[in-house]
Amino acid sequence: MDESEDVPKDFIKLKSEKLSVDEVSELVISPNCGAVSLFIGTTRNNFEGKKVIHLEYEAYTSMAEMEIKKICRDVRQKWPSVKHIAMHHRLGVVPITEASVIIAVSSPHRTESLEAVTYCINTLKAFVPIWKKLLFILTPSRGQTERVLSSLLGGKVRFCVGLWKSLESALHWTALQFARDL
Amino acid sequence: MDESEDVPKDFIKLKSEKLSVDEVSELVISPNCGAVSLFIGTTRNNFEGKKVIHLEYEAYTSMAEMEIKKICRDVRQKWPSVKHIAMHHRLGVVPITEASVIIAVSSPHRTESLEAVTYCINTLKAFVPIWKKLLFILTPSRGQTERVLSSLLGGKVRFCVGLWKSLESALHWTALQFARDL
């Protein structure tokens, strides 16, 4: 690589295809840098104690890209030795264990890239308009089930212990929740 | 993946083959974790202001592995929610821009993995017995060249400006240096 071509660059992408750690890290590698720090956000199988079965990301795309560009500008002010910054975010369905976001930052020495990548992910979570839509499996309690059935049937429903025991293991509710991705 | 099998694991490797970011990050991914933080140390084309043309890593292997295991134990005490830790170090020649070390840490939430990966690389650099052997290109000054030639030839050598100008661009010295990899 011609060193004069190795000017600092920002690589920003919102896309629905699977993200690649190798691809994002390759973008920021520079012959002048000894450090690349990365953060990968992956889909967990649980959220606030509930079992997640499906997760989708939605974004206000143009605004999200503008906010991510602002984060890159902030990084360059705070850590002037940072070389390249790459921030890729996946939209749509992201299966459990797959990456929803990958951020990579290169710098000559390690402290700057480690601090900058932490700043990038914290600021992205706080300010970039990307939300997640989660589908949970919930296991309802006896009282919850009685209340829902009572309101559906328009009269009081109470389970005796024996009936509840045989129903309990078969009952699952699914619940949809929108959340800011903090 | 069966969740009961997803017990915390440490993956430690010192090897002479090229390191893979994808491979190391895949090792630590867990369905219970939303965060993977990585650090990649790459070979720079310069060291202390000098142009590096060749870099080799050497280790006291058994001691290095013991020290890396100790770092993993420390991480698990400091950040008990950390799930998997992978630390791969390359030995032998590492060409410019290729990775000499890749560290990956997963945790349910991001703060722990970000802090732990910083701790891992700082502690590895400070305490693990791995050294680098660097071969530099130096561009000597007129005075340096005159002194070396004088001592080689056993008599005073002085260049006139015209001769020095035509020699200068063609002269390169190489220098070998061992350094702790801080």
In chain A, residues with a C-beta closer than 8 Å to the C-beta of B41 are 34-35, 110
Q: Tokens 């295991």 appear where?
A: B69
Q: Given a cut of 80, is residue B43 above it in pLDDT?
A: yes
Q: For position B73, what pLDDT does the model report?
A: 98
What spatial distance separates the first Cα and last Cα of chain A, rounded to whole Å?
Answer: 38
Phi-psi region of A21 (alpha: psi -120 to 50; beta: other; left: phi over 0): alpha
Q: Is B88 annotated as a binding residue?
A: no
Average pLDDT, integer, range B119-146:
86
In chain B, residues with a C-beta closer than 8 Å to the C-beta of A37 are 37-40, 117
Q: Between chains, do A21 and B20 touch, taking CB under 8 Å as contact?
A: no
Q: What SS3 string covers chain A?
A: CCHHHCCCCEEEEEECCCCCHHHHHHHHCCCCCCEEEEEEEECCCEECCEEEEEEEEEECHHHHHHHHHHHHHHHHHHCCCCCCEEEEEECEECCCCCEEEEEEEEECCHHHHHHHHHHHHHHHHHHCCEEEEEEEEECCCHHHHHHHHHHHHCCCCCCCHHHHHHHHCCCCEEEEEEEECC
Closest Cβ opposite residue A21 in set B3, B25, B31: B25
Q: Between chains, do A38 and B43 touch, taking CB under 8 Å as contact?
A: no
Q: Between chains, do B37 and A40 touch, taking CB under 8 Å as contact?
A: yes
Q: Given a cut of 90, is residue A36 above it in pLDDT?
A: yes
Q: Between chains, do B20 and A22 touch, taking CB under 8 Å as contact?
A: yes
Average pLDDT, integer, range A70-88:
98
Q: What angle do CA A59, A97, A174 make, to 5 degrees?
A: 70
**C-alpha dist (Å) from residue A21 to A173, B23, B31, B102:** 35, 10, 17, 13
Other residues' Cβ atoms within 10 Å of the Cβ of residue B9: 13
Residue B24 φ/ψ, nearest 5 degrees: -70, -40
Q: For position A4, what pLDDT does the model report?
A: 54
Closest Cβ opposite residue B32 in set A30, A44, A117: A44
* Closest chain B residue to A27, measured at CA: B97
Q: Is B76 annotated as a binding residue?
A: no
Q: How far apart are CA A45 and CA A99, in angstroms?
A: 13
Q: Tokens 């974004």 appear where?
A: A59
Average pLDDT, integer, range B8-29:
97
Other residues' Cβ atoms within 10 Å of the Cβ of residue A171: 14
Complex ipTM tops 0.85 = no
Using DSSP, state whether B49 is helix, strand or coil.
Answer: coil
Q: Tokens 């190798």 appear where?
A: A22
pLDDT band at B172; cut points 50, 70, 90: low
pLDDT band at B87; cut points 50, 70, 90: very high
Contact between B59 and B132 under an 8 Å Cβ cutoff? The reply is: no
pTM to 2 decimal places: 0.83
In chain B, residues with a C-beta closer than 8 Å to the C-beta of A108 are 44
Average pLDDT, integer, range B155-168:
82
* Residue of higher predicted confidence among B69 and B51: B69
Q: Given a cut of 60, is residue B3 above it in pLDDT?
A: no
Q: For position A180, what pLDDT does the model report?
A: 64
Average pLDDT over chain B, rounded to whole? 89
Q: Is B54 annotated as a binding residue?
A: no
**C-alpha dist (Å) from residue A87 to A9, A68, A71, B29:** 11, 8, 10, 19
Residue A90 bridge partners (DSSP)? A15
Q: Among A173-177, B75-79, B131-135, which range has the highest average pLDDT? A: B75-79
> Which pair of structure tokens corresponds to residue B94?
């590492």
* Closest chain B residue to A104, measured at CA: B38
Contact between A12 and A103 under an 8 Å Cβ cutoff? The reply is: no
Q: How far apart are CA B113 and CA B131, in angstroms?
A: 26
> Which pair of structure tokens corresponds to residue B64?
């290095």
Q: For position A141, what pLDDT does the model report?
A: 81
- Shortest distance between the Cα of A116 and any Cα of chain B, in A, equals 11
Contact between A114 and A37 under an 8 Å Cβ cutoff? The reply is: yes
Closest Cβ opposite residue B34 in set A35, A42, A108: A42
DSSP B14-27: EESSPP-HHHHHHH
Closest Cβ opposite residue B32 in set A22, A36, A45: A45
**C-alpha dist (Å) from residue B86 to A17, A117, B50, B154:** 27, 19, 32, 57
- Shortest distance between the Cα of A117 and any Cα of chain B, in A, equals 9
Residue type (1 letter), B182: L
